[in-house]
Structure 1
Amino acid sequence: MRPVLTSLLIGAAGIASAEGYAIYDLGEVADRPACMHRATKVMNAWNRQTGEQGILDPTEWIVYGWDFAPGDNDVLIMCPVFRDSFVNALLVVHGEGTDQERDRVADGIERLWSGDSP
C-alpha cells in the first residue's frame, strides 16, 4: 500500500504544483488521535511563529487551516487510516499567492512536524 500511496502523492504533487498546491507525505503515525493532536499542535505553532491568527478547524480525520501566512494559504493535514490500521499524515497547502510563500508555509510546517526549528 505504501508504494501505491507514494506514487499517487508524487503524481499529484507534480500535477498540482502548477495549480498552486504543495503536497507532502509527513510519514507514518502511531494512530489517528496522535496524528490529529500533532497536526493541531504543529499548525498552532506555525501561527505563533508567524505572529498570525490562521483559523483551525479539526474534524474527524483532517485538521483544516485557513489564512496561514505568508500569502494567505489554506493548509490541511490529513490523518487517514489505511488497510491494516496504517495511519499516514499528509500535508496539503494551497494558495493563490506566490510559489515562494506557499513553499515557505509547507516547508515550515514540515520542519515543525519533524521536530526541527525553522
Structure 2
Amino acid sequence: MILRDLGDGNAQRWRYSSLNHVVARLRKKIDGVPSHFTLDACRHGGMTELEEAELTDGQGRALSTHKTQQSYEGYAKRTAKRMLSATRKRHAHRLANETATSVQNEASDGVQNEKRRPEKIA
C-alpha cells in the first residue's frame, strides 16, 4: 500500500489509476526514461528482484502482498535454481524443527533447580 501525504498530517491511500498517471508524468519529465517505463513495469521489476533473491513462494507472496498463490504464480518465474533453493530452505527448516523437538523431548538428568554438590576428592 502506498500512501500520499495530504499536507495536514493525514495520509490517504493512492488509487492505482492516480499513481499510474503520476508515473507517466514523471516519465515524460525525466530525459532518457523509455516509454515502456510504467507502474506495471516497476511491479514486474520488483517481482523479478524477489525471484532472484531465491525466496520461497510464501516469502515472495508476503513481500509482494499477493493474496493467493495463483495470483503470485502469474509473476513468479519457475527456474530450476529458484526451485532448488526453495527446496533446500524447506528441508533446512524441517531439520531444524526436528532437532529442536528431539532436544525439547529428551529426558532430563536432574531437576532444574537442584543444587549439585561437588564431589570430594580423597
Instruction: Name whichever structure is richer in helix by fraction.
Output: 2
Which of the two has higher C-alpha Rg? Answer: 2
Work out whether the TM-score is over 0.5: no
- Looking at both structures, which has the greater relative contact order when contacts are Cα pairs under 8 Å and sequence separation is at least 6? 1
Which range, TM-score by smaller chain? under 0.3
Instruction: Name whichever structure is richer in strand by fraction.
Output: 1
Output the TM-score relative to the length of structure 1: 0.25
